[in-house]
Structure 1
Amino acid sequence: MSNKPNAREAIVDTASRLFFTQGYHATGLSQIIKDSDSPKGSLYYYFPHGKEELALTCIHKTSEIVVRQLKQYVEKDVAVEQAVQDFILQMVRDAEESDYKGMVPFSFWVAVETSCISEELRKACQAVFKDWQDVILQRLLEEGTDAELAADKASVVVSLFEGALLQTLTCRSTGPLLAAARMIPGLLG
């Protein structure tokens, strides 16, 4: 069994990529082990409860990454609508630079596919969207927006950028993300 410090990380990175590109059901543990170059024992050492536990780890990791990126924009000394536009425009650059590969909307595999598998995965997905919304909500509250309206706006913004990313990848065009960015001032202003 490999206890290299990066074995767990390699397994999580590989599983995230495979879950995102193939889906939860189409990704087997054997493929994760093979593609991560990890011994079978490492996977079960780090994830004794198997695929669902690994998926939960991937869900949490993805959420942390997006929250960190979103906070980098929202914590800048600009209005929230500018911060969210800049965040979406970064998605545009990422889509172009990756030739529309390797970017999968969180809702595509996680919320749609895995939330039907178990209540634990559904709750994890729910928490992810709440965490993302909370970043925007907090900033709206700081700018004086009413709490209920701020919560609604944060929910719509997350739905907007997730949906626009899905359309961007499907159409292989940055148009939907660019349209979403243009709509942000109307939604948040």
Structure 2
Amino acid sequence: MSNKPNAREAIVDTASRLFFTQGYHATGLNQIIKDSDSPKGSLYYYFPHGKEELALTCINKTSEIVVRQLRQYVEKEITVIEAVQEFLHQMVSDAEESDFKGMVPFSFWVAVETSCISEELRTACQTVFMDWQDVILQRLLEEGTDTQLAADKASVVVSLFEGALLQTLTCRSTGPLLAASRLVPVLLG
């Protein structure tokens, strides 16, 4: 339908950026079309169910990116503690390089905002958090942590990522992410 071979990607990338920076409710389909430089027909061709379907695609893409990044760290020949600390230090670098812009905690941009309007979006967000936790959980299990304790620790670590990033961006300081990194041994040890 589109003249552009990568129109779908342009729409998803633009929608993700706008959902992150403006929020789900403040982002309109017309703005996504305009900012992605895509014909209106392309959006409805690729996402016939509209904004919610597009948001689901963005949620899944975001999750895949974070899972891939987390796996890069936990699959190294280092402890899970060191892997989580390195992941947090990468978040520090990303925050500094972006001048604290363009990074928004997943829970803030979509999970809280969309969970009450759509069961499908809420379920997708729940799956995202579970997928992130599972990466850490599996590594904890490999290191001999009890199953329930590993699940609890993985949940807390994901909450730590999200909360520390929210504080870092709000305060425009890497302090909260660095503090989180310093306390990872207490949580996971």
- 1:166 corresponds to 2:166: yes
Q: Could you state the TM-score of these two structures normalised by the residue count of structure 2?
A: 0.99
Alignment of 1:3-14 (within 5 A): 3-14=3-14
- 1:67 corresponds to 2:102: no
Q: CA deviation at 1:94?
A: 0.3
Identity %: 88
Tell me, which stretches of 5 or more residues in structure 1 are unaligned?
none
RMSD: 0.7
For 1:48 and 1:90, the matched residues in 2 are separated by 37
For 1:156 and 1:67, the matched residues in 2 are separated by 16
Tell me, which stretches of 5 or more residues in structure 2 are unaligned?
none
Judge which range, 2-11 or 145-154, deviates more: 2-11
Q: CA deviation at 1:117?
A: 1.2
Q: CA deviation at 1:104?
A: 0.5
Q: Could you state the TM-score of these two structures normalised by the residue count of structure 1?
A: 0.99
Q: CA deviation at 1:110?
A: 1.2
Q: Which amino acid aligns with 1:28?
A: G
Q: Against the structure 1 CA distance between its residues 3 and 46, is the aligned structure 2 distance closer, same or farther, given a 3 Å change threshold?
A: farther
Deviations 1:90-124 (A, max 9, x none): 00000000000110100011111011111000000
For 2:132 and 2:41, the matched residues in 1 are separated by 34
Aligned residues: 189
For 1:121 and 1:184, the matched residues in 2 are separated by 30
Corresponding position of 2:30:
30
Moved over 6 A (4+): none
SS at match of 1:113: helix
Corresponding position of 2:139:
139
For 2:3 and 2:183, the matched residues in 1 are separated by 49
Alignment of 1:37-52 (within 5 A): 37-52=37-52
For 1:111 and 1:102, the matched residues in 2 are separated by 17
